[in-house]
Amino acid sequence: MSTQATTPLPPVGKLVSVVPVGLKEAALDSPTFRATTHHFCDQIEFVEKWLDGYAKAATKLASELNTLESVVGSFLSYSTHPLVISEAVVDHDYTLLAMRRCGEGAKDLWSGLTATTKKMESMIAEPIRAFIQEDLRQFKVISAGDRDDQVALGPCFDADLTSI
């Protein structure tokens, strides 16, 4: 056994204690049920904002790739061997061969990166938008209905509690 005392990790942010809500609490419309429902609605809002920003960033990156491609093309054109430089200045056997191979490797790297980045719109942004438009919207409709029901039934519960 180790005799060293372990130090606890420092707390990171405010931790939220989520209490599982059973069917009884939901049926009684307890404060625990309302708090849990409110917490999850807030979390869904945060997730929606985060996903929307992520999809917009992926779309922006894919759309601005054309500008980057022209700059990379210019860079790669200079990385291959210069035609007018004589062998006296740059060694054609080793240096130009190394420059050509380095240029080909950079061209392969950049072409792979640009091809992958162009796919970001269809692989990342479109599925996220579909999730936001279908699943999250349906959850928000149900959540709004629940909120309206709680507002409408609140006075009824208050009247029942006062009659006891």
Q: Where along the chain do its domains lie?
A: 32-163
pLDDT recorded at residue 1? 46
Q: What is the pTM of this model?
A: 0.64
Express each pLDDT in 40-52 by its tens digit. 888 889 999 999 9
**Can you give the C-alpha Rg of the chain in angstroms?**
30
Express each pLDDT in 82-92 by its tens digit. 677 777 777 77
pLDDT recorded at residue 130? 93
Q: How far is CA 135 from CA 51, 102, 131, in A?
A: 13, 48, 5
Number of neighbours of residue 124 by Cβ within 10 angstroms = 17
Are the C-beta atoms of 124 and 55 separated by less than 8 Å?
yes
Q: What percent of the chain has pLDDT over 90?
A: 16
pLDDT one digit per residue (tens) for the chain, 164 residues? 445 556 665 665 665 565 566 666 666 667 777 778 888 888 889 999 999 999 999 989 888 888 888 888 888 888 776 677 777 777 778 888 888 888 889 889 988 988 888 888 889 999 999 999 998 989 889 888 888 887 887 777 666 656 66
Enter the tokens of residue 11: 């707390």
pLDDT recorded at residue 103? 86
Q: Please list, in sequence order, all residues whose beta carbon lies within 8 angstroms of the beta carbon of residue 34, skipping any fewer than 6 positions away.
A: 150
